[in-house]
């Protein structure tokens, strides 16, 4: 078999050259060339055969629990044999810590930790400091792909961690470790191995602050599951979100706290995203949201203050920026709330990122409360999408949201009419009064009467 050859291909026009030589002569674009493998061998493969889809036997996927319920939740119920997971996040956010803790829960000789970043001693020190039972974990401090794959094969591990994919390099390519070509090639080979051997493989990837393109993002389509660390590294809370998952629900969120003994799970995260105010404050409204499959209460804060420059500022943290401009327009047109000469800032407490439109009503009411400098009275939670015509649209899974609101001891909820439980127009659930609204101006008026 011929030795694998590599060449440099232009990402824009596809022209290849044997050596890297600056801008592509065909397209003329600079910086578009990257290294790719061109020839792996000269044997001609036999044609592939197709099978009737319903004749394929399937088995119930057996899940390998990681010993951390919040990580299992983000994974959709634990790891699956042959699953390849990418865990991305900023440097220092806790990726190595989390996966070392997860491996420690596996029975002896089922787990391998491949460390390319830290020496064996550093990993061992960390394990001691975390007081982990790591008797069963095999450690491999190595960065060359061609040495790692046979080692994983020999270890017959059920689960393996690669820390990190950016430190690995393959002999077949000349580019430096961490380059797009190396990251892609190493991940592809490891994935092939994981599928053949039935090993669950966790790849750690650093996300660079600048858009994350050269890093693990190029792997998102290769792997089965993509988990990202969310939240700010200066707070002690760490959120892990499943951005993609072939074995479970996307958007699922696992919540942890970083302590001096590593990452600890947070079982009841709703309390985390509600700040503790001694007495009610203006500009705060509690949103009942759904993250993945879990209902969650998150405090939305708004600050509306007179602008001191001709261009009033609109800024959102953890919420969609464009949505904010849209909501301000709807508030003006359909509820008579004027914010032209006001700076408007909105924020989701706790560093959680909220993308669903059902946050609209909470954002709007927080803005109204801040503008009027009047706290929202009582323990109130809301949800609902707002349309351009000023209507409040129903949100999916209203019942579950309301249950969480009732569970956390709230006494009122303002919700879209279609989300009110069928039983009664002014329904009660465990002491919770559910108030239906159809339009944004109704909701704004309700605030005054609470
Ligand atoms: P680490 O897992 O090394 O981050 P990553 O692999 O994502 O780069 O975590 C490093 C940070 O976590 C470091 O700043 C110290 C902190 N940390 C703790 O607070 N407690 C602990 O028990 C450990 C192990 C780390
Ligand atoms: Mg690390």
Cα→Cα distances 158→81, 86, 102, 137, Å: 7, 17, 13, 11
- Report pLDDT digits (tens) over 108-145: 889 999 999 999 999 999 999 999 888 889 999 999 99
- Report pLDDT digits (tens) over 387-439: 999 999 999 999 989 988 988 889 999 999 999 887 654 556 667 899 999 99
User: In sequence order, what DSSP letters do the residues of 39-105 get, joined into one string?
Assistant: ES--PPPPPP----GGGS---PPPEE--S-HHHHHHHTSSEETT-EEEEEE-TTSSHHHHHHHHHTT
Q: How far apart are CA 62 and CA 80, in angstroms?
A: 6
C-alpha 342: how far from chain center? 33
- Cβ-Cβ contacts under 8 Å for 35 (sequence gap 6 or more): 6, 7, 8, 9, 20, 173, 174, 175, 179, 181
Name the residue with the closest Cα to ligand 1, atom 18.
Answer: 260
| C-alpha 215 – ligand 1 centre gap (Å) | 20
Ligand 1 pocket member 257 (CB < 6 A): no
Does residue 14 have a pLDDT over 80?
A: no
Q: How far apart are CA 82 and CA 193, in angstroms?
A: 9
Helices (H), ranges, 143-264: 145-155, 180-197
Ligand 1 pocket member 401 (CB < 6 A): no
Ligand 1 pocket member 262 (CB < 6 A): yes
Pairing of strands 392-393, 385-386: antiparallel
Which pLDDT score is estimated for 30?
58
DSSP-derived 3-state class of residue 329: helix
Beta carbons within 10 angstroms of residue 59's beta carbon = 6
Instruction: Give the position, in ligand 1's atom list, of the atom nearest the Cα of 89.
Output: 7
Strand order of the sheet with strand 159-163?
A: 137-141, 111-115, 159-163, 200-206, 84-89, 225-230, 237-245, 253-259, 262-265
- Report pLDDT digits (tens) over 91-117: 888 999 999 999 999 988 899 999 999
Ligand 1 pocket member 258 (CB < 6 A): yes
C-alpha 367: how far from chain center? 27
| C-alpha 262 – ligand 1 centre gap (Å) | 7
**243 vs 27, residue with greater confidence:** 243
Instruction: Give the position, in ligand 1's atom list, of the atom nearest the Cα of 164.
Output: 6
- Report pLDDT digits (tens) over 22-65: 666 665 555 566 666 665 656 788 888 898 998 888 777 789 99
Ligand 1 pocket member 23 (CB < 6 A): no
Q: Averaged over 217-235, what is the pLDDT?
A: 84
153 forms bridges with which residues in the sheet? none
Which pLDDT score is estimated for 43?
73
Query: What is the token pair recorded at 358?
Result: 């059902």
Ligand 1 pocket member 246 (CB < 6 A): no
Which pLDDT score is estimated for 390?
96
Ligand 1 pocket member 128 (CB < 6 A): no
Q: How confident is the model at residue 244 (pLDDT cuts 50, 70, 90)?
A: very high
Which pLDDT score is estimated for 425?
45
- Report pLDDT digits (tens) over 166-219: 999 999 998 888 888 899 999 999 999 999 999 999 999 987 655 454 566 788
Q: Helices 180-197 and 145-155: crossing angle, nearest 10°?
A: 20
Beta carbons within 10 angstroms of residue 276's beta carbon = 6
Residue to probe by mutation, ligand 1, list 88, 97, 229, 259, most atoms within 8 Å of CB: 97
Residue to probe by mutation, ligand 1, list 94, 98, 203, most atoms within 8 Å of CB: 94
Best-predicted range by mean pLDDT among 187-196, 237-246, 266-275? 187-196
- Cβ-Cβ contacts under 8 Å for 222 (sequence gap 6 or more): 84, 184, 187, 188, 191
Q: What are phi and psi of 85, to 5 degrees?
A: -115, 135
Which pLDDT score is estimated for 165?
92
Q: How confident is the model at residue 305 (pLDDT cuts 50, 70, 90)?
A: very high
Which pLDDT score is estimated for 40?
60
| C-alpha 80 – ligand 2 centre gap (Å) | 23
Q: How far apart are CA 447 and CA 301, in angstroms?
A: 16
C-alpha 139: how far from chain center? 28
Instruction: List the Cα angle 356/357/362 in 5-degree steps.
Output: 100
Which pLDDT score is estimated for 211?
46
Q: How far apart are CA 283 and CA 300, in angstroms?
A: 8
Does residue 385 have a pLDDT over 80?
A: yes
DSSP secondary structure letter of residue 134: -
Ligand 1 pocket member 97 (CB < 6 A): yes
Q: Which ligand is nearest to the CA of 90?
A: 1
Ligand 1 pocket member 260 (CB < 6 A): yes
């Amino acid at each position: 078999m011929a030795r694998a050859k590599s060449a440099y291909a232009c990402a824009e026009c596809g022209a290849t050259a044997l050596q890297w030589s600056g801008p592509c002569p065909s397209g003329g674009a600079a910086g578009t060339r990257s290294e790719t493998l061109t020839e792996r061998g000269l044997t001609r493969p036999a044609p592939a055969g197709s099978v009737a889809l319903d004749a394929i036997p399937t088995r119930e996927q057996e899940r390998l629990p990681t010993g951390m319920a919040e990580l299992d939740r983000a994974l959709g119920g634990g790891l699956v044999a042959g699953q390849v997971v990418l865990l991305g996040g900023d440097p220092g956010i806790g990726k190595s810590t989390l996966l070392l803790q997860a491996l420690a829960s596996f029975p002896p000789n089922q787990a391998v930790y491949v460390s390319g970043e830290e020496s064996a001693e550093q990993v061992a020190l960390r394990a001691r400091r975390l007081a982990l039972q790591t008797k069963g974990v095999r450690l491999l401090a190595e960065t060359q792909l061609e040495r790692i794959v046979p080692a994983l094969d020999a270890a017959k591990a059920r689960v393996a961690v690669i820390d990190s994919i950016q430190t690995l390099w393959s002999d077949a390519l000349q580019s430096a470790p961490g380059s797009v070509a190396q990251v892609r090639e190493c991940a592809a080979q490891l994935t092939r191995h994981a599928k053949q051997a039935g090993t669950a493989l966790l790849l750690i990837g650093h996300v660079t602050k600048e858009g994350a393109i050269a890093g693990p993002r190029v792997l998102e389509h290769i792997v089965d599951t993509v988990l990202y660390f969310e939240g700010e590294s200066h707070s002690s809370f760490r959120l892990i979100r499943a951005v993609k998952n072939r074995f479970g629900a996307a958007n699922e969120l696992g919540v942890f706290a970083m302590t001096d003994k590593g990452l600890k799970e947070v079982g009841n995260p709703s309390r985390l995203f509600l700040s503790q105010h001694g007495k009610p404050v203006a500009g705060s409204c509690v949103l009942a949201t759904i993250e993945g499959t879990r209902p969650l209460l998150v405090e939305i804060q708004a600050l509306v203050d007179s602008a001191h420059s001709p261009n009033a500022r609109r800024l959102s943290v953890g919420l969609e920026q464009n949505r904010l401009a849209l909501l301000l327009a709807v508030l003006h047109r359909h509820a008579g709330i004027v914010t032209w000469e006001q700076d408007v800032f909105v924020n989701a407490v706790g560093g959680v990122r909220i993308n669903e439109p059902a946050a609209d009503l909470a954002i709007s009411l927080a803005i109204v409360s801040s503008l009027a400098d009047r706290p929202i009275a009582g323990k109130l939670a809301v949800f609902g999408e707002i349309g351009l015509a000023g209507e409040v649209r129903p949100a999916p899974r209203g019942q579950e949201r309301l249950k969480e609101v009732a569970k956390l001891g709230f006494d009122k909820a303002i919700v879209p009419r279609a989300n009110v439980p069928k039983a009664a127009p002014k329904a009660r659930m465990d002491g919770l009064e559910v108030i239906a609204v159809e339009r944004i101006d109704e909701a704004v008026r309700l605030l005054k009467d609470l």
